[in-house]
A and B are shown apart, each in its own frame.
Chain A
Amino acid sequence: MSNHSPESDDALGTRLRTELRRYPAPAYLRGSITEAAEPPRAARPGWLAPSLAAAAMALVLLLASIPFLPRLLPADPTERLVRSVVAEHTRALMWGARRQEAVPSALPWLTQESGIALRKFFGGDDRLVFVGAEPVFLEGRRGVALYYRDGDGHLVTYTALPAPGLPLPESRRVPIENRWRPALMSDSGFSAWVWRQGDLGCFIVADMVSASDVERFKDYFVRLRVSTDPVPAN
């Protein structure tokens, strides 16, 4: 307590507690503190949202227009048929034949479905094992496909389709045993023998593309060509 003052320390303390005005915090201060304490959101550049929206719209339009875009198909009908046959071969390679049938037990059904009659067919030997046969529909034509597998696991697909007057590129024709001159074509990494047999176009497809493979592929052609005789079913 001070000796110089009539007011005691306790009395002065009481006055400070009771008489001194208190300043309550303004209402907005609590809100601004809470807001400022929140973690800042990642800043996004202003151009990002419109750009993303435009890109998304362009993608939607592109996807919607894909069915109407012209397909990049070969103009040459033979090349186009080869591409379809190779695609079917690839499908069989990946997923197997849709319906495997043991010819000739299913021959009437196969002939009816494919429109191709097999007067004789290659049923397999010590080099090629017959896997199955099924009707196919390629480039708007019904046909027949026979599947074989060789000792190395190569799938070999024989296909016969109606193709009257199918042009064969002279530059690709390969003489085999002085009897046949099929064209050796390629598509998507597969090799294909292509030849005409009456009004039918015939194809043998396999993934045999190296020089040594070609010799073996010739051998497969001979085996299949000699033993298979497809004709249009009337």
Chain B
Amino acid sequence: MNKTAMTLASQVELAREAGRHTHHFHGGLHLRHNKKISCRDPVVRPALPELLIVPLLQHAGDIAEPFVSAGEKVLKGQRIGQCQPSAAVHSPVSGTVEAVENRPMSHPSGQPGPCVVIRPDGNEQWVELEPVSDWENASPETLIAKIQDCGLVGLGGAVFPTHAKTRDGRDRQIHTLILNGSECEPYISCDEMLMREQPDKIILGARVLRRALGAERVVIAIEDQMGAVQKALTRAAKLAGSKNISVVKVMTIYPEGGERQLIQVLTGLEVPAGGRPSDLGMVCQNVATAAAVADAVVEGKPLIERYITVTGNGISQPRNFQALVGTPFSHLVAACGDYTDDVARLVVGGPMMGYPIATDDTPVVKASNCLLALTHRDIADPQPEMPCIRCGECARVCPATLLPQQLHLQIKTGLWDQVQEYGLSACIECGCCDYVCPSHIPLVEWFRYGKGEQRKRALESEATELARKRFEDREARLLRFKQERAEKMTRRKQLLKDKAGRGDRIRDAIARAENRVTRTGETPDDA
């Protein structure tokens, strides 16, 4: 629906109706769900691993500065790293720091990064927890500060610091908090399990976040295939006696769970290009983030644990865990009865947007929602890449209504002005185009490259602009100097001329004086 003609203010008004009717977004894919295999057993905490590897970069922003060094004792929940203005990192166990060193991190780059390696002592001794007392009457700023203290980040995958998003939302007059429970990628079921098992905590977290944001309503979006979840959440909301919390079922179409797509489904509105959901008066948080907010504010517990799905045909007994941050994936796989024989690839996240990891001693981080072990059959042999035949399938499935086939060509040939015009920046890298491409062109890879190149070009043009300005300023300065010098010259010349003139004047004066003297001599007291 084209609502671009509407003013932003009227769009914000319309956004208040979020969830009353559901709408559609463009494109998307119906994918095989594959979620049931990991939902059969209740979620358990695995045994403590021998070592925990806690990366210092688990959030959007800079690497956290470590507070601890090798040999130091730490308590469970103790802060071990901090990065202003992003999120803090806490020790998931009580024990001894073995080392602070570079280890393979769970990160799309695959590069090793600084990690705090902790050997647990098994006592699970907590640091003294400081919950916010009476959060219902606490100031929003207190709540936000607590959220920041506890190292909360968005658990849906973007790991944007929660306190920053909340504070920004508060400043921008949010009316609706959307909790995203529509986990649209195949295989992943950790949010569904969380909603089934801890609906009260999610509702509690939602209320805390609502207060911190100053929002009026909460809309929890879940998939239409999660019947039990809707009941559980609705009941929990009723129990909490809280009004204005609604649970809305949305169709299961990938990438429904994308923030912009979900907002479009709930409101029929599109987040303005280059803008944020807060432009429409909305903030979107993952349901797991809400549960973590409840833990942080009401119990004072930092974010050191999360629900994670360990699944795929490469795992003997797929299931969900409540795993400590820092637990090596290999430990979770062992708790699932090890790999099957034909395991071929390990992916963190879902099959559409997840990234592969090279070794399984990579640890769980705040963002890890799923460890997916795929077999050769699941991924199939890499097909040869063929030229684009412009069939347009990619454009049909693109949720951002872009023309991927054109963008691909433009990036390939370096037509950067057109790349800009055709809206590369609106690409959410969902991978729908990749999936349907009959020529097997790695489109998302091209688009990431294109975005990087655009950033580089923007920086370059900034530098060029600066250099140009410098040059122009210098030219202007030189011109000014020249003019000043010329002026000075003329002034001096004038002065010289004046001096010559002054000589005359002096002569005149002398003449006048002499005159006077003569006259005075004749009649001294005449006057």
- Are A and B co-members of a single complex? no
Interface residues of B (CB under 8 A from A): none
